[in-house]
Amino acid sequence: MFQLLDIIGTIAFAMSGALTAMNKKMDPFGVFIIAFVTAVGGGTLRDVLIGRTPVGWMLDLKYVYVIAAGFILAVIFRKKFDRLRTSLFLFDTIGLGVFTLIGLEKGINIGLHPVICIALGTMTACFGGVIRDILCNEIPVIFRKEIYATICILGGVMFFLLRELSFDNDILYLATSLVIISVRLMAVKFKWYLPTLENK
Amino acid sequence: MFQLLDIIGTIAFAMSGALTAMNKKMDPFGVFIIAFVTAVGGGTLRDVLIGRTPVGWMLDLKYVYVIAAGFILAVIFRKKFDRLRTSLFLFDTIGLGVFTLIGLEKGINIGLHPVICIALGTMTACFGGVIRDILCNEIPVIFRKEIYATICILGGVMFFLLRELSFDNDILYLATSLVIISVRLMAVKFKWYLPTLENK
Amino acid sequence: MFQLLDIIGTIAFAMSGALTAMNKKMDPFGVFIIAFVTAVGGGTLRDVLIGRTPVGWMLDLKYVYVIAAGFILAVIFRKKFDRLRTSLFLFDTIGLGVFTLIGLEKGINIGLHPVICIALGTMTACFGGVIRDILCNEIPVIFRKEIYATICILGGVMFFLLRELSFDNDILYLATSLVIISVRLMAVKFKWYLPTLENK
């Protein structure tokens, strides 16, 4: 189940990367690389910072194949993205939940403090998109719009609260991902934004 | 003493990051992340390149708290930055000196060549600002203006010269940071710049 | 021989970095740093991702000296680059071939899958240029123009095909670099481009 969700999230992230790159009129190699770093960038940064090397996608070819599939789908359906927007958004939201959990878990496994684990979860879920935007020469969208990363942090906090109450691991995982996914859906439906901070 | 200066430098770097991010009209999450990477980015890159993982700030929550404090101060006083400019500049200069020394020390500890140690010191002091500028979609300011990094290199060279003359560690540290801090103050006061190189 | 080609490639990459930075009117420190990351950026990313730390250039000062030489040459001859364009392009192409092979080799040495080794080779050859373009606030040129990275991938695939046929290592290396170098020369001569993908 978790494995399947991981794959769905990876495909969705790869497609979102490919889409952004095609908006910038890149060539197929550029589009593929952007798809790749969007999908694995967050996990790669996390692995490098905690010293888990060679990083994950080098040891499990599954990710390369899944991303290649996402890239091909994105290229084939590139004229029809408007109609696919809703499904893609749902997949992306699943990815957000699953990737946050994976990051939390890696941090817990090596005994890091909950605050740092939450940072790792958020990084895993959000940093692929940050690298995508930097490579496309944009200010990262998660710094300006949508309460994207904030939801990961919220999910992480809830995870550790429930854990204190010694819930079972399965429940913990299920509850955390459901919270992340449903808060994201509501945030977009009801247009919840963080205000921007200005010093002028 | 050194600990205290490290904290002052971290707060100043976090505030300079927050300030730049608020100029770009980011939301609070974006401002916090930029503050965070400005403060720890240089040390994180250094730790990753020398294989000292998990990187420093993951093992010592002090940095998270100090950066959070810097972020909150920057948000509260964001309309008054013009009046605070001088104190912030002083703190930033202290950070420059202290971070250079920390980088030099890590390099020496693992037996790297002085040239590489100086590179590590300069990286520790300057790369947070480079990542800040990349995330804000600007050409890094230290590549264009102010003899910022050059001062770290100068400080590093002096450190190893004094070390050859077998000065005591305390004197070495004190002398190096004083040189970095006072050259920076003079550079800004007397408007010392490096000329730009053009090929047109 | 291989050593010599590695040095030629490093100088060429450093000069291409310095040239781009001077087009952006950077100061000498900025130009040097861009030259440095263009030359070692790809190999550094590779080393970090596979956990080979401290990264290569920290353990062998040769690279620092070679890059410094490239930087000085670029500054001295900066008004004459139009006449030097052809030699620089040749050197750069040699670098492309040699760096791809070095990346392939590192991957094989630690037992990674051929697909990942090809990714490491391509990264070693191309990522310095990507970091250069990000620091100069441009969309990386290899994502938009020229079949640069594609040639590295092609070379990598050929390498593993010939290896299956159990050719000798020397022949493998020679054939792969010759293919990469000659395809690049032809690609530029006959203006081979990948089409851009657009979703509009």
Give pLDDT tens digits for A17-26: 898 888 888 8
Q: CB C198 to CB A22 under 8 A?
A: yes
Interchain CB contact of B65 with C (< 8 Å) = no
Identify residue A150 by its one-letter amino acid code. T
Please name the residue that has the structure tokens 């930097």: A134
Answer whether C179's CB lies under 8 Å from C158's CB: yes
Q: Break chain B into its structural domains and give their ranges.
A: 2-189
What CA–CA distances, in Å, run from C131 to B77, B142, C45, C89? 35, 16, 10, 19
Residue A144 has pLDDT above 60, yes or no: yes
pLDDT at B103: 94
Are C48 and A53 an interchain contact pair (Cβ–Cβ within 8 Å)? Answer: yes
CB C68 within 8 A of CB C16: no
Higher pLDDT, A150 or C118: C118
Query: Mean pLDDT over residues B138-156, rounded?
Result: 82
Which pLDDT does position A103 carry in this prediction?
94
Contacts of B59 in chain A (CB under 8 A): 112
Tokens, residue C97: 């071939």
Nearest CA to A21 out of C139, B175, B155, C94 is that of C139
Least confident of B17-26, B36-45, C191-200: C191-200
Judge whether B76 is closer than 8 Å to chain A, CB to CB: no
Mean pLDDT of chain A: 87
pLDDT, position C145: 66
Please report the pLDDT score of residue A116 as a whole number.
Answer: 95
DSSP state of C9: H
What pLDDT score does B55 carry?
A: 94
A53 in contact with chain C, both atoms CB, cutoff 8 A: yes
Q: Measured between CA atoms, how close is A33 to chain C, in angstroms?
A: 8
Which chains are adjacent to chain C, needing at least 3 Cβ pairs under 8 Å?
A, B
In the predicted model, is pLDDT for residue C200 greater than 70? no
In terms of pLDDT, which residue wins out, B59 or B188?
B59
Q: Is A116 at the interface with chain B, CB within 8 A?
A: yes
CA distance A152 to A119: 9
Chain A residues near residue C48 by CB distance under 8 angstroms: 48, 53
Using the Cβ of B137 and the Cβ atoms of chain A, whether some distance falls under 8 Å is answered with yes
- Is residue A8 predicted with pLDDT exceeding 70? yes
Euclidean distance between CA atoms A171 and A128, whole angstroms: 27
Quick one: average pLDDT of C142-151? 78
Residue B196 has pLDDT above 60, yes or no: yes
Cis amide linkage into residue B28, ω under 30° from 0:
no
Dump the DSSP string for chain B.
-HHHHHHHHHHHHHHHHHHHHHHTT--HHHHHHHHHHHHHHHHHHHHHHHT--S-HHHH-THHHHHHHHHHHHHHHTGGGHHHHHHHHHHHHHHHHHHHHHHHHHHHHHTT--HHHHHHHHHHHHHHHHHHHHHHTTS--GGGTSSSSHHHHHHHHHHHHHHHHTT--HHHHHHHHHHHHHHHHHHHHHTT--PPPP---
Measured CA angle at C156 (ends C155, C157), to 5 deg: 95
Cα–Cα distance, A80 to B74 (Å, whole number):
45
* A137 Cβ under 8 Å from any chain B Cβ: yes
Question: Which residue is it, tokens 């978790």?
Answer: A2
Give the length of chain B.
200
Task: Give the whole-angstrom CA distance, residue A152 versus residue B128.
Answer: 24
Q: Which helix (H) or strand (E) holds C38?
A: helix C28-50
Q: Is any Cβ of chain A less than 8 angstroms from the Cβ of B88?
A: no
Residue in B26, B54, B79 closest to A196 by CB: B26
- Mean per-residue pLDDT for B109-134? 92
pLDDT at C31 over 80: yes
Averaged pLDDT for residues B14-28 = 86
pLDDT of residue A146: 66
Residue B199 at interface with chain C, using a CB cutoff of 8 Å: yes
Q: Are C17 and C73 in contact (CB under 8 A)?
A: no
Percent of chain A with pLDDT over 90: 41
For chain A, give the number of residues: 200
- Interface size, chain A vs chain B, as Cβ–Cβ contacts under 8 Å: 89
Chain B contact for C56 (CB, 8 A cutoff) = no
User: Looking at per-residue confidence, does C52 or C141 come out higher?
Assistant: C52
Q: How much is the pLDDT for A25?
A: 80
Q: Check CB contact under 8 Å for A115 and B19.
A: no
- C24 in contact with chain A, both atoms CB, cutoff 8 A: no
Compute and round to an integer the Cα radius of gyration of chain C: 17
Residues of C in contact with A55 (CB under 8 A): 49-50
Residues of A in contact with C115 (CB under 8 A): 61, 64
Average pLDDT over residues B35-47: 94
Q: Do C9 and C99 contact (CB within 8 A), yes or no?
A: yes
Q: Is B26 left (phi over 0), alpha (psi -120 to 50) or beta?
A: beta
What's the pLDDT at C50? 95
CA distance C200 to C194: 18
**Measured between CB atoms, does C198 come within 8 Å of chain A?**
yes
A-C contacts at Cβ under 8 angstroms: 88
- Cβ–Cβ contacts within 10 Å for residue B171, how many? 10
The answer to whether residue B199 scores a pLDDT higher than 70 is: no
Hey, are the CB atoms on A197 and B31 less than 8 Å from each other? Answer: yes
Rounded Cα distance between C171 and C159, Å, is 10
Residues of A in contact with B134 (CB under 8 A): 134
CA distance A63 to chain C (A): 11
Instruction: Judge: A22–C48 Cβ closer than 8 Å, yes or no.
Output: no
Contacts of C196 in chain A (CB under 8 A): 25-27
Whether pLDDT at C146 is above 70: no
User: Is the CB of B111 inside 8 Å of chain C's CB atoms?
Assistant: no
Q: Kindly state the average pLDDT of the residues A128-147.
A: 82
**A61 in contact with chain B, both atoms CB, cutoff 8 A:** no
Identify the residue whose tokens are 């921007």. Answer: A196
Q: Tell me the average pLDDT across B32-38.
A: 92
A34 CB-near residues (< 8 Å, 6+ apart): A17, A18, A20, A21, A26, A132, A135, A136, C143
User: What span, in angstroms and rounded, lies between the C-alpha atoms of C14 and C72?
Assistant: 10
In this prediction, residue C1 has a pLDDT band, given cuts at 50, 70 and 90, of low
**What confidence tens digit (pLDDT) does each residue in C69-112 have?**
999 998 888 887 767 777 778 888 888 899 999 999 999 999 99
Question: How confident is the model over B3-15, as a mean pLDDT?
Answer: 87
**Best residue in C58, C71, C137 for a mutation probing chain B (most B CBs within 10 Å):** C58
Q: For residue B72, is pLDDT > 90?
A: yes
Q: Give CA–CA dist C127/C133, Å, rounded.
A: 10
Contacts of A137 (CB under 8 A, 6+ apart): A24, B137, C137, C138, C139
Whether B123 shows a pLDDT value over 60: the answer reads yes
- Residue C121: C-alpha distances to residues B138, C46, C183 (Å): 30, 9, 16
Residue bearing tokens 């699953």: A98
Stretch B165-191: mean pLDDT? 86
Averaged pLDDT, A47-64: 93
Residue C148 three-state SS: coil
Confidence of residue B93 (pLDDT cuts 50, 70, 90): confident
For residue A23, what is the enclosing H or E element? helix A2-23
Tokens of C105: 């080799």
Judge whether residue B200 has pLDDT over 60. Answer: no
Q: Name chain B contacts of C23, Cβ cutoff 8 Å.
A: 199-200
Q: What is the pLDDT of residue A145?
A: 66
- Report the range of poorest mean pLDDT among A57-71, C1-15, C64-78: C1-15
Neighboring chain B residues of A116 at a CB cutoff of 8 Å: 58, 61, 64
CB contact set of C194 (below 8 Å; sequence gap of 6+)? A27, A28, A29, C147, C150
Mutation for testing the A interface, residue in C24, C193, C199 having most A CBs under 10 Å: C199
- Taking the Cβ of residue C200 and every Cβ of chain A, the question of whether any pair is shorter than 8 Å is answered with yes
Q: To 10 degrees, what angle do helices B149-164 and B114-135 make?
A: 160
CA distance A194 to chain B (A): 6
Mean pLDDT of chain C: 87
A143 with B33: Cβ contact below 8 A: yes
Weakest-pLDDT range from A68-72, A183-187, B115-119, C43-47: A183-187
